[in-house]
Amino acid sequence: MKIDFSNIALILFLLFSLQKANGQELNSISVENKNVSTQSEMVLLINITPSDPNFCGVRIEWGDGEGQDFRYEKSTSEPIKFSKIYDRAGDYTVSVKGKYLSRGLKSAVACKGENLTLPIKVAGKEPVKVASKEPANGFLHSSVSCSDWNYYPAVSKRLKEEGIVTLGMAINSKGKVIAAEIKKTSGFKRLDDAALDNIKNCIYTPSIIDNKTVEFIANLNMVFKLEDSGTSIETLRAKRDQYPETPNDKVDEILEARLREATESRLKQEKEASESQAKREKEDAEYQVWLRTSEGKKFLADKAIQEKKEMAGRELEAKKVEEQARQERINFAKKYPFYAIVTCTGGGRQFNTSSCLAGNVESKVKVGNSTSHHLLPILALGKETRAGLVINLLSVFELKFQNSSEMDNLNVKIFNSLTNEVIYFKSTGLYGVIAVKNCIRKTNVKDSKNLPSPKDSIGACDA
């Protein structure tokens, strides 16, 4: 029986660690490499003053919505290194603070010390400028379109960000983009980045000069517009008849107002999420303080007793189920001490048992006082399964099968129902006969339930 000691270990750990002052303290954080970009790792160094006990929990927030927890276990003062690669360029703030970790035997109280923050500036990859060449040098200037893109940033959809990104591209003679830049922004960095990502999936028809495909420069407008959103200038102007009172010069003001509403909504959501996180952390800290009180210790002790009782109850119930299943097997074995499995095999494959018993052959199955000589009654006595034709046998039985197949083998196995041990096996080819019946072997070997054992007096013998 497998017992889960994780909850008990956690309680013992808390009772032990909370008796001591948590001496581990956050000291400082710094960045090992000065130049951080989207193409290189940023290595963060965390200095923690060691003490006894030499473990505590720390939370790192990278400033891009991602974070990680770790358990400090060192007894030396050397800094700990963590690596991070940012996906996008920009200004980020890394924060490090103590955090209680609940991980069974790997649990840890929060490291002491104030929250530490560090501003990080991440540089992006330098944009590739599209070199403009004259047609005489092999480059043509043209406009192209691309319908093979469908990526719309999920955050932009939620914030209802729309716009048109104008791209300048250099396209090689095979129709692939070899360089690109943003000539006119949509007003949203997410949409601009998505446009640059999307054009990489497009294949364009190259220009032809003197029957040869050549490189060329092209401009492309990528339109990001949500269906029926009604927030873009184009959408408002397309519904001009519905807004007769709105002058054209006011359309941009309407759009800007809607975008401001979306921005305010996003900022509100971020503020609420931040406040909710701070509330959870405050409640967690208060809970850890409460656990140090006599009331909290009593709560942990009572909880351990209750969990022990529940575990004992589950173990008792599992034993009851196991005993019930065992008793059912014993009762079945009392009625049917044996069972036979008849199979028809050939060429590494198994076929329906009737393939080896069909035709004018001699077969006989006697179970107790019931005897069957024909194929259909014989098949009806058992059940065809993936293992073969299974026939439950009483203590008195007699089986006789003749193989009618020219290519396949007929196989018969007899099993002890209580132990599932094979007590008889025989295989035969075309027109071969397998005859088996119960037999007596006086060994006087019985099990605790007075049932036949694998070496018992009742078995299966050739008839």
Per-residue H/E/C for 14-53: HHHHCCCCCCCEEEEEEECCCCEECCCCEEEEEEEECCCC
Would you state the pLDDT for residue 453? 45
Calculate ∠ Cα 147-148-154, nearest 5°: 100
| 14-28, 40-54, 247-261: which is most confident | 40-54
Digit-coded pLDDT (tens) for 405-424? 888 999 999 999 888 899 99
Say whether pLDDT at 234 is over 80. no
Q: What is the overall mean pLDDT for the chain? A: 76
Calculate ∠ Cα 377-380-384, nearest 5°: 135
- Rounded mean pLDDT, 359-380: 72
3-class secondary structure, 204: coil
Residue 411: its H or E element: strand 409-416
Would you state the pLDDT for residue 301? 92
CB-CB contact of 397 with 387 (8 Å):
no
Digit-coded pLDDT (tens) for 426-461? 999 988 899 888 886 544 444 444 444 444 445 667
Would you state the pLDDT for residue 343? 94
CATH fold of 6-125: Immunoglobulin-like (2.60.40)
Among candidate residues 369, 367, 387, the one with its CA nearest the CA of residue 378 = 367
Digit-coded pLDDT (tens) for 127-155? 333 333 333 334 444 445 565 566 778 78
CB-CB contact of 417 with 428 (8 Å):
no
Would you state the pLDDT for residue 107? 66
280-292 burial: b if 16+ Cβ within 10 Å, else e: eeeeeeeebeebe
| 35-39, 248-252, 400-404: which is most confident | 400-404
Would you state the pLDDT for residue 412? 93
**Burial degree of 29 (CB within 10 A; 0-12, 13-18, 19+):** buried
- Rounded mean pLDDT, 223-233: 60
Query: How far, rounded to the nearest angstrom, does the alpha carbon of residue 71 sit from its chain's CA centroid?
Result: 24
Of residues 368 and 2, more confidence is placed in 368
Would you state the pLDDT for residue 340? 93
Q: For the domain 135-229, what is the CATH superfamily, name and number?
A: TonB (3.30.2420.10)
Share of the chain above pLDDT 90, in %: 14
Say whether pLDDT at 125 is over 90. no
How far apart are the C-alpha atoms of 43 and 151, rounded to whole Å? 32
Would you state the pLDDT for residue 129? 37
Would you state the pLDDT for residue 169? 82
Scanning the structure block, which residue is given the tokens 């940023």? Answer: 42
